[in-house]
Amino acid sequence: MKTTGNNLENIGKINPFKVPTGYFENFSSSVMSQLPEKEQKEPQVIGLWERAKPWFYMAAMFTGIALMVNIFIQRPESSKIFSEDVNNISIDEIDEFNSYYQERMAYASYLETLYDDEIL
């Protein structure tokens, strides 16, 4: 097989493609006639709640984050209140609590021995 040099040199500057006459003058009208007709939709009415809903959600999210940070980072003040209450207790109140507690324990011990004897 014999190969020749550059094929572009053989062709030269001749354009082998041709456009039919009047093609571009009628091009836009022919394309537009082939397209289907679009239905005109009514614009959708968006209510106030639909517009404000993302803002409410965002405000709720930031409020929740602020509350969680406040709960987890801030030290509880209940221990401070408890320590102040303990310091204000008088000796008489402590003695009264001890006597009440001893009476309850004695009564519980009495009931335990009473019902244990009945079961045996």
Tell me the whole-structure pTM to 2 decimals. Answer: 0.32
Who contacts 58 (Cβ-Cβ below 8 Å, separation ≥6)? none
Tens digits of per-residue pLDDT, 72-113? 887 666 555 555 666 678 888 888 989 999 999 999 888 888
Tens digits of per-residue pLDDT, 49-70? 999 999 999 999 999 999 999 8
Confidence band, pLDDT 50/70/90 cuts, at residue 24: confident
Q: What is the pLDDT of residue 115?
A: 79
3 state SS for the chain: CCCCCCHHHHHCCCCCCCCCCCCCCCHHHHHHHHCCCCCCCCCCCCCHHHHHHHHHHHHHHHHHHHHHHHHHHCCCCHHHHHHHHHHCCCHHHHHHHHHHHHHHHHHHHHHHHHHHHHHC
Nearest-angstrom CA–CA distance, 27 and 63: 61
